[in-house]
Structure 1
Amino acid sequence: MSSPIAHILLIEDDLRLAGFIANFLVNNGYQVTHCACASELDLKVQSSQVDLILCDIMLPGTSGFQLLKEARKDYFGPFIFMSALSDVENQLHGFKLGADDYITKPVKPELLLARIKAVLYRQQGRDNKPEDKSLSIGNLTVNQESRTVVINSERLKLSRHEFDVLWLLALNKNKALTREYLFLNITGKEYDGLDRTMDGRVSRLRKKVNAYENAGCKIRTMWGKGYMLSTGAEF
């Protein structure tokens, strides 16, 4: 049985470049939907199953950065920036917002294809699609529908905010999530650089989860990177 064709949503206002990229990806076995501006995004994401978003940053009416914030309300899959903005500051900002990769233009088609394949391959190991309501990591089970957490067959009591943090960490196991990413995806607001509320929530959650020695996973602080739910040899 053949694997399903991955659906890529391309957001690029340069129509000539978009056409070239779309044709190249289609010829390499992908389904491609193109948006020239952010106003089309909500309809495209909600009306079809999107496996990866490839997005320019300098777009008419908005920026790719703002678009990523809006997309995360309905879309939780891989997101790659592709931009002529090659300075370190913009690249770091993109990753802080939760981008899976940042590709600078001009880019060779073969390299673009390799980066897309790498991100999709990593995604196969994550249970992070919206329809997945329960995640089991080691001896930890997190159920989004019932908002319950069980470790070693014991129910773990968490606040509403602690559960939201754990769910995001579980969706991205073995991947460091920045304070900015957690703040944006839980509160819906961009981090102002001063609020330490998220640090307190993670700290309380870490104490509760890490108290179980045989849980098969631990919450770690990755200095300079963020927080991670680690499994196996990762912790």
Structure 2
Amino acid sequence: MQTIVLVEDDLELAELTKERLEREGFSVQHEENGEAGRDAIVDAQPDLVVLDIMLPGIDGFEVCCQVRPQYVGPILILTARDEDLDEILGLELGADDFVTKPVKPRLLLARIRALLRRTRMEPVQQAHDSVHIGSLSVDASRREAQVEGREIDLTTTEFDLLWYLATHAGEVVSRQDIYQGLFQYDYDGLDRSVDVYISRLRNRLGDQPSSPHYIKTVRGVGYLMAGEKK
């Protein structure tokens, strides 16, 4: 049974969400504040976290920031504030997806399942188990990446994006390509999530924003993983 830690201070919403997820076969642990949520995530190491932003004590952004060094699973952020700044800040701190409340239960469930599918991707579904591009090595079977022999810590979405780019090295991929390949839905022309993920990934790889070595921006088109894959 897959496990979820739900961190939400709205008790009525939390109970409804917990009941719905449990009916779908998930085991759900609910926490009401940031400190308890942080500790539960680190201790339980759940398959997925659903994290509200506006929490008593430390907020969801701070929880996300504090748990990321010790938790690599997917984090889905919930917020009642429909502002781009919230989304960008949440993604920069290591969240994997972002849903604005009030959210339809079917939509929340679909996003959760999509994140879990990406986490469970089997290497046999890939054309190759590993890809090497210069000093970058990406291993799908272990879900590990190294640069110059140094292992880099990646979230679920960061690894999936890196694997997608690495397996398409030498090709220009559009935002639409990335959305279809990673999230299985169309790019709406406005969402900036992919740009934030790319920025985070460049930081992980040690790429300089002004002259990136690995992930290059092709203005008006998309992104290019430079180099030849082996």
Q: CA RMSD in A?
A: 4.0
Q: Which stretches in structure 2 are left out of the alignment for 5+ residues?
A: 124-128, 166-193
The CA distance in 1 between the partners of 2:202 and 2:77, in whole Å, is 19
**1:64 offset after TM fit, Å?**
1.0
Alignment pair present for 1:23 and 2:43: no
The CA distance in 2 between the partners of 1:126 and 1:203, in whole Å, is 34
Per the alignment, residue 32 of structure 2 pairs with: 36
Per the alignment, residue 152 of structure 1 pairs with: none
The CA distance in 2 between the partners of 1:230 and 1:116, in whole Å, is 34
Per the alignment, residue 221 of structure 1 pairs with: 216
**Per-residue Cα deviation, 1:120-167 (whole angstroms, up to 9, x for no partner):** 11222288xxxxxxxx5235466xxxx996xxxxxxx837xxx244x5
- Which segment drifts farther, 93-102 or 170-179? 170-179
The CA distance in 2 between the partners of 1:63 and 1:174, in whole Å, is 32
Per the alignment, residue 153 of structure 1 pairs with: none
**1:47 offset after TM fit, Å?**
3.0
Q: Normalising by the residue count of structure 2, what TM-score does the alignment of the two structures yield?
A: 0.63
**1:62 offset after TM fit, Å?**
1.9
Q: Normalising by the residue count of structure 1, what TM-score does the alignment of the two structures yield?
A: 0.62
Aligned pairs for 1:163-174 within 5 A: 163-165=150-152, 168=154, 171-172=159-160, 173-174=163-164
**1:220 offset after TM fit, Å?**
2.5
Alignment partner of 2:81: what SS?
Answer: coil
**Per-residue Cα deviation, 1:42-92 (whole angstroms, up to 9, x for no partner):** 432343230101010011122211111111011001110111011122122
> For residues 77 and 58 of structure 1, do their structure 2 counterparts lie closer, same or farther at Cα, with a shift above 3 Å needed?
same
Aligned pairs for 1:131-142 within 5 A: 137-138=130-131, 140=137
Q: Which stretches in structure 1 are left out of the alignment for 5+ residues?
A: 128-135, 150-156, 187-196, 207-218
Per the alignment, residue 12 of structure 1 pairs with: 8
Per the alignment, residue 199 of structure 1 pairs with: 207
**Per-residue Cα deviation, 1:172-220 (whole angstroms, up to 9, x for no partner):** 422764435665xx6xxxxxxxxxx94349978x4xxxxxxxxxxxx43
Identity of aligned residues (%): 29
**1:108 offset after TM fit, Å?**
1.2
| Higher Cα Rg, which structure | 1
Number of positions where the alignment pairs a residue of Structure 1 with one of Structure 2: 183
